[in-house]
A and B are shown apart, each in its own frame.
Chain A
């Protein structure tokens, strides 16, 4: 096995300690190996719901410790406080209830603001006041946005009497820390998930196969395709002035696919792992690049976060029920909030506003122009425009600065020689092949996708041992030698 038995306990000690340079992610081979042992013991306790939940909770806490170290204590603090305050709020009424609700909301949001924006604010402080506070060594917990959003959704749902508060703190902790989703979402709603804690585990042949398919596809998308595309994108952004308009344009498509495969791949692994445990997490991506308009895109991209903003910001502020101007204003505000969720930077502000403006434009368009949404040509044009709009906007997420993004865009728009395609293809045959494969996966027709799914599900159960072995080795064989971190970890 390669383990030196003389150092066995030393190695166990090291395996159980946190390493800042290699935080655990669901796509780590080390984690998957440990997950195998976890499942081995899980198989024997799954009949007892109470012990099952405690076992998963313990592993989830351990997983978060391996991902974020002592920030686990922050998470535990948030869990304890929110559990107690929500129970307390549920017993209150009238004005008192409102006050405590807003205080609890402020408490949760303060963590989010601190971890996300303190460095930017201190840098601004330093710049304008001449101070020199050093934040170079500051670290922040991974996944803080997702579990704060989750906590807020629970708080609001209980406040609105949509759900009852959870009786046991261990159940609430389970909901908050469930390891498949804690690092990178999807954001799970309590009403969709909590009932599963009290239901018996069901993992039959089709659930097992579905789980394995999701994990395998997720690993291929993230470790093989996204990371490989990322290496080209990184080269371009290392020194953007050195590349032609055409090379930069190709990097836009590459980054679009990289971002989608990175996020959806990780979500696939999360959903697959949850399935193997007998739990079901909702889909987070629904073929977003096949959207015919920008409004549809935001119903299909990072669905859990989009729905969160819709249910907890857009609708409470009036949504589409108020006057038109107010409604458009709220759309801009919500999209702006989505932008600055990535950080306080001109790039992200512009990204949010651009998408907000696009949604408003689309709404005005459908009010003024009667279109036949069933028309295939109209649909194709819509998909083409939406995909390109989104891809060109993503540059503001990837570029090193706002000015770099603007320069890059203007180069692509004004200075691209499409005839470069032939020489570019000759020199970058692997990249072109990868882009074509990515395009096929992203734009595959629904009927073909369903057909392939059915055929894969028909494979015998035992074959998955070999499939995973082959896929894992193929990833090692052809995957990028430079491991690209999960994109959203930086946000």
Chain B
């Protein structure tokens, strides 16, 4: 019986702390004590993962039907408006003329893809999608990835082909702030921009934690004019690793992006501020790690 007692206690020693942690993760609110907010671990929480996967099955039939029903806009369908001057101060470039392509679609099929910062932004984007009637079809998070992965792997092409987004948010650059091989990155950025031709997109630069060696300018010059949003000068609250923004930081970041996308982006879409935050993510999240899967 003595054995049973300590084995039983071992079980409780694992179950009780983990149950508390997972229960906390499922709550909308966070606990803050003495200014320290207790983080959550969505990626480690079995219930959240299971909930997401369950929802995929439930909406699967609905999505299949919608894919068949959807009429994708072509460039010819879009209205063209002559450029607004000085509408892209956030990009730190002087007045530039570009054409804004406004779709007649009120409901966009949005794909967000990028490095680990995309993992934080997609949750905020989900709130915007729910508020504005858009459908977040997929969040593709490729941790530790750089422009090289996105440009040369065929993953991006396959995902676009499968999920048929009408709008793409691309978030990349955090893992190459130190990069000095600018011409190599430029070639890759141009390659990726070519892959995105024909689709409306916004290219979101990294929220720099150090001064970069030119990667932001590479993206700026490679993306379609007016479609690059520079985040390098946003002073966002950072997480414990001092690299990624924290939850509040991601919220501020997304709000800024949304304001720019609505008014100033080359490909504007409606992105009114959400009334309710932390909405349940009903779409799929694909998460890869570049240290395990390079893609090319």
A residues whose Cβ falls under 8 Å from a Cβ of B:
1-4, 7, 10-11, 14-15, 21-22, 28-30, 32-33, 35-40, 42-44, 46-47, 200-205, 207-208, 211-212, 228, 231, 234-235, 238-239, 241-243, 276-278, 430, 461, 464-465, 468-469, 472-473, 476-478, 480-485, 489-490
Contact = CB atoms under 8 A, between A and B. Distances in A.
B9 A208 contact: yes
Nearest to B21: A472
21 contacts: A7-B50, A10-B54, A14-B54, A21-B288, A32-B14, A32-B18, A33-B22, A36-B11, A39-B14, A40-B11, A43-B3, A47-B3, A238-B146, A238-B175, A238-B179, A278-B3, A465-B16, A469-B17, A472-B17, A480-B241, A489-B292
Contacts of B244: 481
Contacts of A3: 47
Interface string B46-72: 111111011001000000000000000
A43 B22 contact: no
A476 B291 contact: no
B44 to A, nearest CB: 4
Contacts of A33: 14-15, 18-19, 22, 46
Contacts, number: 185
B78 interface: no
A468 B179 CA distance: 40
Contacts of A276: 7, 10
Nearest to A41: B11
Nearest to B22: A2
B39 interface: yes
A468 B146 contact: no
Contacts of B50: 7, 10-11, 14-15
B29 interface: no
A212 B16 CA distance: 14
A201 B3 contact: yes
A476 B15 contact: no
Interface string B1-42: 011101111111111111111110110000000000011110
Nearest to A231: B241
Contacts of B11: 36-40, 42-43
A465 B13 contact: yes
Closest 6 CB pairs of A and B: A2-B26, A36-B14, A469-B17, A36-B15, A39-B11, A43-B7
A468 B143 contact: no
A471 to B, nearest CB: 9
A200 B2 CA distance: 12
Nearest to A205: B6
A483 B289 contact: yes
B144 interface: yes
Contacts of B100: none
B178 interface: yes
Contact of B292 (A278, A430, A478, A490): A490
A30 B4 CA distance: 24
Contacts of B287: 21
Contacts of A234: 144, 291
Interface of B: 2-4, 6-23, 25-26, 38-41, 43-51, 53-54, 57, 116, 119, 143-144, 146, 175-176, 178-181, 213, 239-244, 286-289, 291-292
B14 to A, nearest CB: 4
Contacts of A484: 291
A235 B178 contact: yes
A456 B156 CA distance: 51
Nearest to A1: B23
A2 B23 contact: yes
Contact of B44 (A2, A28, A205, A482): A28
A46 B3 contact: yes
Contacts of A483: 43, 143, 289
Contacts of B8: 39-40, 43
A464 B6 contact: no
Nearest to A7: B54
Contacts of B180: 239, 241-242
Contact of A476 (B14, B40, B51, B54): B40
A120 B200 CA distance: 40
Contact of A473 (B19, B38, B179, B242): B38
Given A202-B3, A203-B6, A1 B240 contact: no
A278 B44 CA distance: 28
B19 A1 contact: yes
B47 A2 contact: yes
Given A7-B54, A203-B3, 15 more contacts: A4-B51, A10-B50, A33-B18, A33-B19, A200-B3, A208-B10, A238-B144, A238-B179, A241-B181, A242-B178, A276-B10, A278-B7, A461-B9, A469-B21, A478-B240
Contact of B7 (A42, A239, A482): A42
Contacts of B9: 208, 461
B270 to A, nearest CB: 31
A29 B10 contact: no
A1 B4 contact: no
